[in-house]
Amino acid sequence: MEVAEVLPEFADAFAFEEFNRMQREALPALLESEENVVASAPTASGKTALAELAICKALADGGTALFIAPMRALTNEKEDDWDRFEELDHSVYVVTGERDLNPRRARRADILVMTPEKLDSATRKHDSRRYDFVTDIDVCVIDEVHLLDADRRGSVLEVTISRLRRLCEPRIIALSATMPNVDDVAAWLDAPEETTFEFGEEYRPVELNAGVKTYTHGDNSFADKYRRLYRALDLAEPHLREDGQSLVFVSSRQDTVQAAKKARDEIAERDIPMGARGDYDFHTESKDLENDTLRKSALDGVAFHHAGLSKNDRDLVEEWFKQGHIELLFSTSTLAWGVNLPARCVVIRDTKLHDPLEGEVDMSPLDVLQMLGRAGRPGYDDVGYGWVVCDTAEADKYRRLLRDGKEIESRLAESLETHLNAEIAMGTITDLEDVMDWLETTFYYVRGQSKPDDYDFPNLRQRVRDCLEGLVDRGFVETGEDLSIEATPRGVLTSKYYLRLDTAARFAALCDRVGSEGDDELEADDILAAVATAEEFDSVSARQDERDAVNAVLVGEDTADLDAGER
């Protein structure tokens, strides 16, 4: 079935000429129905085309489409990919925190692209002229809806979709990797059985050969990293020798750099033919990289990718990997959720991450499956290979994950106070019954009905009362004698400026000190301490070129001699 036959006016918007089997089966639900659609399908099976089909229908009807991308990197990719829509006179506008919002362009856009966090922030301020464009959405496409099960981010997606449905009742198209409980997502989004699809592994264009490889755990964690690295290189080597590419996921930005450096030495030792030092054109192109370490590594066919690199360097690495100049790439989880960079072989070297607050924690099962889904390049490979490298003691756990998959759970309970405060600040909730009505619109409520014991569902009302009491005690909410609920100025500001509750409470405590303890004004040190300890910056670490400046400040040295860029 050809695209031009089905959508003649939008044929040029698609990157292919014929729909595949999976896309053909979903066509009637997307184009001939107004119902919400939920589709679960293997990675690389063509789910993006389902999103584009729904968008085309909305545009043909004169409506506005919203595409929710799981990561900021993917919003940039969509902007580039969807130049095809621009050429058909349908405007695409990306709204992210790193760009200044142009409300006029947002209102006039035919296709909006946003992350869950940006949409959450925007819908909280939907009654302002600046953000009123979010109330005029006709179709909302959720890419990677299994993000619902991600720490923190999952609850943001969940409450934001519930809020958007209340604001403008858009048609919802939810796309996901394979998940066992697709029916729960369909129940949450009111998608009927005839527009709910669960496409199995037989729809995957490239067969996935996934497994678990173990290593012998030692007493030294540093040495263990190299044991796992050598194991990863053992798995990648056969493919590298056949001009196949390999993608290795590690736990941190620093690890991507160190692993790439060690891998270059090991590849030379094993005499694996790689690199493009004799390629004059690529040698010239590599000078465009801002990171010198990355440039030297890329010429050997090995590179690293993480969010700390400049956008220029990330874009070049991604493009060179697609072109085959880079054959072995070390990355953090960014490439699992963001840019589509499949490789013949994918190895997860690290299944544990370092959390600043909790120490060593297991990688999310969702991330593991997402990473392995990158194995196999459609059009190039018949089989993709995905491996999890782990300690022998954990092998069975990962084998079960690969065999059974992972049910998608709600994470709303973990941040219920935060989202309750936002809804109260917007006026959605004015009493306890409103809270219960609001909860019934969430995925949390659906999962609670499916697994009442796991979600402590019988005690839900008491849990809500406890959350409300916590908000009252911390000054975010106040209750009236008639049991009404209303946000305080503190609660409104916290929601409006998208602050964490603990951060807002910390700043409020500083302000309360002024006057009450005889202080006329706040000390700069106190303000800086409040900013530095804010949870919003938990994931921020000093880059290598910032270490001198940070160390100078920490030991009280004079920073006047530092370069302007370092201060």
How far apart (Å, rounded) are the C-alpha atoms in residues 273 and 281? 19
230 and 198, same structural domain?
Answer: no
pLDDT for residue 560 is more than 90: no
- Is residue 388 domain-resident? yes
- Is residue 412 domain-resident? no
pLDDT for residue 566 is more than 50: no
Q: Is residue 159 left, alpha or beta, with left meaning phi > 0 and alpha meaning psi from -120 to 50?
A: alpha
How far apart (Å, rounded) are the C-alpha atoms in residues 497 and 474? 18
How far apart (Å, rounded) are the C-alpha atoms in residues 418 and 413? 10
Q: Are 171 and 36 in contact (CB under 8 A)?
A: yes
Residues 6 or more apart whose Cβ sits within 8 Å of residue 13: 7, 52, 56, 82, 84, 85, 88
Q: Are 172 and 140 in contact (CB under 8 A)?
A: yes
pLDDT of residue 522: 78
Kindly report the number of other CB atoms within 10 A of residue 49's CB atom.
20
190 and 75, same structural domain?
Answer: yes
- Asked which of 161, 186, 203 is the last residue of a domain, the reply is 203
- Is residue 411 domain-resident? no
91 and 12, same structural domain?
Answer: yes
- Is residue 49 domain-resident? yes
Q: Are 407 and 180 in contact (CB under 8 A)?
A: yes
360 and 226, same structural domain?
Answer: yes
- Asked which of 142, 175, 203 is the last residue of a domain, the reply is 203
Q: The tokens of 363 are what?
A: 């990688």
One-letter amino acid for residue 141 of the chain: V
Q: Which residue has the higher pLDDT, 97 or 139?
A: 139
How far apart (Å, rounded) are the C-alpha atoms in residues 148 and 67? 16
- Is residue 413 domain-resident? no
Whichever domain contains 471, its CATH number is 1.10.3380.30
Q: The tokens of 246 are what?
A: 């390999």
Residue carrying the six token digits 């939810």: 174
139 and 42, same structural domain?
Answer: yes
Structural domain of residue 549, as residue ranges?
Answer: 537-566
Whichever domain contains 13, its CATH number is 3.40.50.300
pLDDT for residue 356 is more than 70: no
**Count of residues in the chain:** 567
Instruction: Write down the pTM of the prediction.
Output: 0.88
Cα 367 to chain centroid, rounded: 10
* pLDDT (tens digit per residue) in 75-123: 888 888 899 999 999 999 999 877 789 999 999 999 999 999 999 999 9
pLDDT of residue 283: 86
Q: What is the mean pLDDT of residues 183-205?
A: 95
Q: Are 448 and 225 in contact (CB under 8 A)?
A: no
Q: What is the mean pLDDT of residues 319-333?
A: 93
pLDDT for residue 547 is more than 90: no
153 and 14, same structural domain?
Answer: yes
- Is residue 318 domain-resident? yes
- Is residue 410 domain-resident? no
Q: The tokens of 275 are what?
A: 């690199």
Question: Which stretch of 138-142, 283-287, 441-445 has the lowest confidence by average pLDDT?
Answer: 283-287
Whole-Å CA distances, 124 to 422, 425, 496: 7, 9, 7
pLDDT of residue 210: 95
* pLDDT (tens digit per residue) in 357-410: 667 889 989 899 989 988 998 878 889 999 999 999 999 999 999 999 999 999
How far apart (Å, rounded) are the C-alpha atoms in residues 493 and 474? 14
pLDDT of residue 305: 95
526 and 470, same structural domain?
Answer: yes
443 and 518, same structural domain?
Answer: yes
* pLDDT (tens digit per residue) in 6-30: 999 999 999 899 999 999 999 999 9
Whole-Å CA distances, 156 to 121, 145, 430: 10, 12, 21
368 and 295, same structural domain?
Answer: yes
Split at pLDDT 50, 70, 90, the class of 483 is: confident
248 and 350, same structural domain?
Answer: yes
Q: Three-state DSSP class for 300? A: coil
* pLDDT (tens digit per residue) in 409-432: 999 999 999 999 999 999 999 999
* pLDDT (tens digit per residue) in 147-188: 999 888 999 999 999 999 999 999 999 999 888 999 999 999
Query: Exposed e or buried b for every residue in 111-127, given b needs 16+ CB within 10 A?
Result: bbbbbbbbbbbbbbbbe
Query: Exposed e or buried b for every residue in 168-195, given b needs 16+ CB within 10 A?
Result: bebbbbbbbbbbebbbbbbbbbebeeeb
Percent of all residues in the chain with a pLDDT value above 90, rounded to a whole number: 72
- Is residue 409 domain-resident? no
Residues 6 or more apart whose Cβ sits within 8 Å of residue 267: 233, 240, 274, 300, 301, 302, 328
Across-strand partners of 39?
Answer: 175, 197
How far apart (Å, rounded) are the C-alpha atoms in residues 434 and 438? 6
How far apart (Å, rounded) are the C-alpha atoms in residues 186 and 39? 9
Query: What distance separates the 2 farthest-apart alpha carbons in the chain?
Result: 80
* pLDDT (tens digit per residue) in 456-472: 999 999 999 999 999 99
Cα 449 to chain centroid, rounded: 27
How far apart (Å, rounded) are the C-alpha atoms in residues 59 and 235? 46
pLDDT for residue 449 is more than 50: yes
227 and 170, same structural domain?
Answer: no
Give the number of C-alpha atoms closer than 13 A to the C-alpha of residue 79, restricted to the C-beta side.
Answer: 14
Closest C-alpha to 188, from 508, 474, 513, 409: 409
365 and 290, same structural domain?
Answer: yes
Percent of all residues in the chain with a pLDDT value above 70, rounded to a whole number: 95
What total number of domains does the chain contain? Answer: 4
